[in-house]
Amino acid sequence: MKMLRILVASLVLWLITAPYPAGASGGGEARVDPTYARECGECHAPYPVRWLSADSWRHVLANLNRHFGQDASLDAEAQQKIDDYLVSHGRRRSTVAPDGGPLLRITESPGFLGAHDEVSPATWKRSDVQSPARCEACHGNAAQGRFSEHDLHLPEGVSP
Amino acid sequence: MPSRLLIIITLAVPTVALGDSPEGLQQGWAREAEQRDSGFAGFSASRGVAFFNARHGGDWRCSSCHTDQPLTSGRHVVTGKVIKPLAPAANPERFTDAGKVEKWFRRNCRDVLSRDCTPEEKGDVLAYLLDLGSGVRQ
């Protein structure tokens, strides 16, 4: 009986202190690096780091002066901090583009595609969504790097 | 703490903070502009508004994202993200962080002009923005 009480107490303690489980979307429910969220969230949502591999992230960070058509270059200190964070938290398996190089568009990654396979092409084209890259259209806390499917704020007419 | 060190720290603090205000930034740019051109005669809001709305040989203008009414919010021309007003009268946080200001001038000037903006151009733009909401005619 005493052993049972110890086991129950241990279980309760574990449940209280266990980290918040990652959402099925695979994105960002672990604590997001604040420098990454601040700097890489200035023009778009700070995308879930685990959806691109370290190689992909290295390539993105090395070419910020030509970041999808814009200069997104960072100061040296922020660059180093973000590089360290992305490379250490990136997807373990490689994310590869059709041409064999590192995949750079997170919306083409296996993680993103798997999490959004039920979203119709028409939904992406809605004027209040516009693009798969606009996470904040449905993910109300995307600016904080939170993308849980349990925390959606869907535009009217979009079903989960 | 040794008194000499205390004096140095006390003198350093305002120096470090000097650039972190619209006036401080303009003073710094004015000094740089004078070094580049001894004939520099000060910043101009009318040059600034023309610069802000011009295309500069590319597809974008400053106003493409910041609107031609910088007292209002704009939108990132690619991502659609809302950009808070650029004019300090509507957004007092603007131009209070020298590092942030220079970072965004570096990025955006290279996008719009394919080169860095000169100190005179930066000062002219800020002169224009400071006039907005202040009752001064453009």
* Model confidence pLDDT, tens digit, residues B24-75: 999 999 999 999 999 999 999 999 999 999 999 999 999 999 999 999 999 9
In whole angstroms, give the CA distance from residue B116 to residue B109.
5
Give the DSSP H/E element, type plus range, for residue B83: strand B82-83
Of A69, A71, A130, the CB nearest to B107: A71
pLDDT of residue A22: 39
Whether A71 sits inside 8 A of B106 (CB atoms) is yes
Whether A71 sits inside 8 A of B78 (CB atoms) is no
In whole angstroms, give the CA distance from residue A96 to residue A123.
26
Query: Does the beta carbon of B41 lie under 8 angstroms from any beta carbon of chain A?
Result: no
DSSP state of A137: G
Q: From start to end of A11-140, where are the E strands?
A: none
Closest CA in chain B for residue A136: B81
Above 60 in pLDDT, residue B80? Answer: yes
**DSSP secondary structure string for all residues of A54-87:** HHHHHHHHHTGGGBTTB-----HHHHHHHHHHHH
In whole angstroms, give the CA distance from residue A68 to residue A60.
10
Taking only residues 90 to 129 of chain A, the set having a beta carbon closer than 8 angstroms to any beta carbon of chain B reads none
ipTM above 0.90, yes or no: no
Of B76, B99, B103, the CB nearest to A43: B76
Beta-carbon contacts of residue B130 (< 8 Å; ≥ 6 apart): B22, B45, B87, B88, B89
Q: Name which residue leads in pLDDT, B15 or B11.
A: B11
Q: Which long-range contacts (CB under 8 A, 24 or more apart) does A97-103 make?
A: A101/A59, A102/A53, A102/A55, A102/A56, A102/A58, A102/A59, A103/A52, A103/A53, A103/A56
Whether B111 sits inside 8 A of A130 (CB atoms) is no
Chain B residues closer than 8 Å to A136 by CB: 81
pLDDT of residue B126: 98
Of B78, B80, B108, the CB nearest to A69: B78
pLDDT of residue A155: 83
In whole angstroms, give the CA distance from residue B122 to residue B4.
38
DSSP state of A129: T
Whether A71 sits inside 8 A of B80 (CB atoms) is no
Chain B residues closer than 8 Å to A38 by CB: none
Which SS3 state, helix, strand or coil, does residue A13 take? helix
Query: Does the beta carbon of B115 lie under 8 angstroms from any beta carbon of chain A?
Result: no
pLDDT of residue B11: 57
In whole angstroms, give the CA distance from residue B121 to residue A4.
75
**Chain center to CA of B76:** 18
pLDDT in tens, chain A (160 residues): 777 777 776 676 665 554 443 333 444 456 899 999 999 999 999 999 999 999 999 999 999 999 999 999 999 999 999 999 999 999 999 999 999 999 999 999 999 999 999 999 999 999 899 899 999 999 989 988 889 888 888 888 887 6
Cα torsion angle, A88, A89, A94, A97, sign: negative
Of A44, A68, A73, the CB nearest to B107: A73
Cα torsion angle, A34, A40, A46, A50, sign: negative
